């Protein structure tokens, strides 16, 4: 790193710390030996500094970490590119040594790790090549709280929803939290984003195991023998945050507790050993640390959705059932759910118009159904009540190159990681699969209370006309104002062409915002009444336009969206 830029960065860091009520006591150059590095790692090697910081108002422990968190996020967002600084830890309890290093190089590169005065009751080590991101020094593991083997397949959605929720985030535990936004660093890896959200949940007041189980819950919806209080714990938190899903073995520590958790499908290995001198070892493979077999008093494989935890303040291993039992008993989750959650099948039936099939051909033409759709897809599905099976690939042109008009859906494909991961069989693996969701407003992710679960539960993402009528008329008797719905037409004048569609989208966005301000908490976007004068806006465009508008207006978490459309496939 350029010495002049490094000095300017240190001065800017000190100023930000000062603005946040912190003082820099001094800097220590971390001794390193670059001679052991490969050419690529040496070419992009940064400089290393150990910064000593205190709070001018005397905070220590996690209270100090909370002030450091806001200061660090500000520095990450505000420093110019030439002064870019990465904080490997900046914690009152942990030190992180990492980089573009092989396992043998780690101890040779960082002289501190060979110092006899370096002692720790716990250590978290990660040694693995990057698969989803290009290798770099900041993206090496471990992060500030975790080391991760696997990938978070849902990370793009998780990041987007986290950005959306920032409009509601507030906690008395972290002063000036809004100065730390965005929580997820743009351009970071899936593991970095996971670590950043975990850090926020922990610093806001939840224990580290609690925060981990919010993000990586075990399979609970179809678990027949799960205790009711534990099921209520998971159901409550599912209304706060969606899982960060994918093959994952995650080790975590805050300097006091250290543990590991496996994803609900158990798609990554994780094993542990306990020796007769109370040494606990957990690793992704057997033989990572040489231990004489006669010294092992307990060993096993971490099960899907289970957690292994060592609490150094208690001096013992905390069992998975004890962890989850304690968390489930910490609040009256079952009562909150009974008072706030409403299940769609439990709503009363509502009268509605039953449309005839006289206009089926016209609607098939309007919504782009082809002869091939009817013969190859619709007819087999109608006969077998199952998805049609094909083979030998497809010779269909890419939508952007096709000479035929194509649906907007055809321009989008699955992400690479979604396709290559082990496929799941929802029939044979029913216990770990679910298609249920919740609908309605969200509350502050960082607060715990009954208002967080006042939502409508949908057993399936696809609903029929009878169920849609239940949603549209949910508050007709005045008992569910917190789930009041409104219908917005997603049509535009055909004669006005492109301009008409753009104008209609602007009008729809404003209409939805006004309805939310008036108290609507479920918006139904519908193209039901299309005809020769008014054509349907493609549902994907309509939904995304409203969704991103509400994010910009900081209204997205106040409302749930339902789409009634004829073009969905």
Where is pLDDT greater, at 359 or 117? 117
- pLDDT computed for residue 428 by the predictor: 73
Distance CA 555, CA 542 (A): 17
- My answer on whether omega of the bond before 148 falls inside 30° of 0, hence cis, is no
Which pLDDT tens digit goes with each residue over 313-342? 999 999 999 999 999 999 999 999 999 999
Segment 206-230 shows an average pLDDT of: 95
Where is pLDDT greater, at 267 or 391? 267
- Coil, strand or helix at 489: strand
Report whether pLDDT(393) > 80: no
- pLDDT computed for residue 90 by the predictor: 95
Segment 487-509 shows an average pLDDT of: 97
H or E element in which residue 280 lies: strand 280-283
Report whether pLDDT(2) > 80: no
Report whether pLDDT(418) > 60: no
- pLDDT computed for residue 397 by the predictor: 82
Q: Which of 277, 257, 439 is nearest to 344 (CA)?
A: 439
What is the value of pTM for the model shown? 0.93
- pLDDT computed for residue 245 by the predictor: 92
Where is pLDDT greater, at 296 or 393? 296
- pLDDT computed for residue 131 by the predictor: 66
Which pLDDT tens digit goes with each residue over 105-130? 999 999 999 999 999 999 999 987 66
Distance CA 87, CA 51 (A): 10
Please report which confidence band the pLDDT of residue 389 belongs to, taking 50, 70 and 90 as the band edges. confident
From start to end of 46-125, where are the E strands? 49-55
Token pair for 413: 């494909």
- pLDDT computed for residue 386 by the predictor: 86
- pLDDT computed for residue 438 by the predictor: 94
Please report which confidence band the pLDDT of residue 559 belongs to, taking 50, 70 and 90 as the band edges. very high
Segment 125-138 shows an average pLDDT of: 80
- pLDDT computed for residue 1 by the predictor: 55
Report whether pLDDT(81) > 90: no
Where is pLDDT greater, at 111 or 376? 111
Please report which confidence band the pLDDT of residue 429 belongs to, taking 50, 70 and 90 as the band edges. confident
Which pLDDT tens digit goes with each residue over 157-215? 999 999 999 999 999 999 999 999 999 999 899 999 999 999 999 999 999 999 999 99
Please report which confidence band the pLDDT of residue 137 belongs to, taking 50, 70 and 90 as the band edges. very high
Longest dimension (CA), the chain: 85
Token pair for 119: 């002692």
Mean pLDDT of the chain: 93
Among 36-40, 547-551, 556-560, the least confident range: 36-40
- pLDDT computed for residue 392 by the predictor: 66
Report whether pLDDT(37) > 60: yes
Please report which confidence band the pLDDT of residue 416 belongs to, taking 50, 70 and 90 as the band edges. low
Report whether pLDDT(443) > 80: yes
Beta carbons within 8 Å of 83's beta carbon, 6+ residues apart: 5, 6, 8, 9, 12
Segment 252-263 shows an average pLDDT of: 97
DSSP annotation string for 225-264:
TS-HHHHHHHHHHHTT-----SSEEEEEE-SSEEEEEE-T
Segment 265-272 shows an average pLDDT of: 90
Report whether pLDDT(420) > 60: no
């Amino acid at each position: 790193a350029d010495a002049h830029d490094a000095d300017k960065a240190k001065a800017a860091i000190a100023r930000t710390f000062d603005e946040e009520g912190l003082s820099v006591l001094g800097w220590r150059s971390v001794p390193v030996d670059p001679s052991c590095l490969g050419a690529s790692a040496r070419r992009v090697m940064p400089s290393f500094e150990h910064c000593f910081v205190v709070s001018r108002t005397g905070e220590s422990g996690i209270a100090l970490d909370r002030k450091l968190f806001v200061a660090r996020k500000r520095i990450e967002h505000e420093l110019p590119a030439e002064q870019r600084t990465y904080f490997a830890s900046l914690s009152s309890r942990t030190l992180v040594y990492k980089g573009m290093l092989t396992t043998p190089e780690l101890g040779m590169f960082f002289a501190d790790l060979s110092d006899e005065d370096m002692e720790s009751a716990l250590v978290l080590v990660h040694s693995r090549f990057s698969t989803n991101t290009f290798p770099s020094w900041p993206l090496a593991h471990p992060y500030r709280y975790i080391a991760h083997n696997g990938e978070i397949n849902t990370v793009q959605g998780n990041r987007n929803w986290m950005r959306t929720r920032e409009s509601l985030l507030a906690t008395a535990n972290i002063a000036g939290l809004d100065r730390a936004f965005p929580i997820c660093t743009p351009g970071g890896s899936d593991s970095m984003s996971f670590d950043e959200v975990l850090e926020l949940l922990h610093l806001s007041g939840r224990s580290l195991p609690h925060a981990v189980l919010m993000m990586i819950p075990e399979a609970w919806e179809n678990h027949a023998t799960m205790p009711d209080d534990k099921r209520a714990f998971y159901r409550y938190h599912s209304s706060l945050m969606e899982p960060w899903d994918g093959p994952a073995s995650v080790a975590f520590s805050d300097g006091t507790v250290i543990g590991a958790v496996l994803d609900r499908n158990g798609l990554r290995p994780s094993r542990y050993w306990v020796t007769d001198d109370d040494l606990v070892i957990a690793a992704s493979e057997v033989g990572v640390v040489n231990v004489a077999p006669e010294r092992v008093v307990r060993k096993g494989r971490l099960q899907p959705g289970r957690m292994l935890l060592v609490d150094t303040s208690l001096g013992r291993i905390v069992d998975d059932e004890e962890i989850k039992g304690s968390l489930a008993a910490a609040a009256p989750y079952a009562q909150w759910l009974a008072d706030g959650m409403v299940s769609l099948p439990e709503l009363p039936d509502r009268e509605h118009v039953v449309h005839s099939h006289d206009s089926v051909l016209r609607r098939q033409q309007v919504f782009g159904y082809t002869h091939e759709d009817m013969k190859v897809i619709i007819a087999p599905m109608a006969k077998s009540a199952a998805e049609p099976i094909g083979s030998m690939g497809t010779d269909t042109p890419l939508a952007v190159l096709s000479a035929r008009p194509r649906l907007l859906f055809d321009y989008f494909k699955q992400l690479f990681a979604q396709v290559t991961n082990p496929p799941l069989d929802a029939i044979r693996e029913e216990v770990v699969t679910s298609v249920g969701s919740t609908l309605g407003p969200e509350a502050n992710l960082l607060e715990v209370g009954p208002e967080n679960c006042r939502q409508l539960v949908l057993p399936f993402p696809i609903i029929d006309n009878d169920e849609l009528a239940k949603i549209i008329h949910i508050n007709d008797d005045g008992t569910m104002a917190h789930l009041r719905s409104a219908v917005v037409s997603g049509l535009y004048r055909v004669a006005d062409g492109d301009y008409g569609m753009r104008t209609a989208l602007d009008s729809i966005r404003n209409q939805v915002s006004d309805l939310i301000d008036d108290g609507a908490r479920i918006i139904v976007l519908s193209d039901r009444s299309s005809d020769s004068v008014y054509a349907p806006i493609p549902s994907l465009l309509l939904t995304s336009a409203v969704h991103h508008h509400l994010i910009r207006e900081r209204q997205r978490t106040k409302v749930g969206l339902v789409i009634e459309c004829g073009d969905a496939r």
